């Protein structure tokens, strides 16, 4: 858990590929007036092409949370959770 939410290790049902899913609480972001920072993080991750930085696959919005799916490279994120 972090300042705004939590990161979960998830696996795509059909491809079995691993992803990190970051779930961000809208209420916490709004309360701390951090909306611009959250969108800036999303923009940076979606345009970054670097082997040392995870790549943003998609982001979407639910009623109570913002969620991002980030591609996990084996050995970087997955090993920390296993």
Say if CB 66 and CB 58 are below 8 A apart.
no
Full strand arrangement of the beta sheet holding 18-25: 5-11, 18-25, 65-71, 55-61
pLDDT in tens, the chain (82 residues): 677 778 888 888 888 888 888 888 888 888 889 889 888 988 888 888 887 887 888 887 777 777 656 655 544 444 444 3
Structure-block tokens of residue 38: 């959250």
How many angstroms separate the Cα of 45 from the Cα of each of 41, 52, 66? 6, 12, 15
């Amino acid at each position: 858990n972090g300042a705004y939410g939590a990161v979960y290790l998830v696996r795509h049902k059909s491809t079995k590929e691993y992803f990190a899913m970051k779930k961000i609480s809208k209420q916490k972001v709004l309360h701390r007036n951090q909306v611009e920072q959250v969108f800036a993080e999303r923009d940076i991750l979606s345009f970054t092409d670097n082997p040392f930085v995870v790549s943003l696959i998609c982001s979407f919005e639910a009623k109570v949370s913002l969620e991002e799916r980030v591609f996990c490279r084996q050995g970087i994120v997955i090993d920390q959770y296993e």
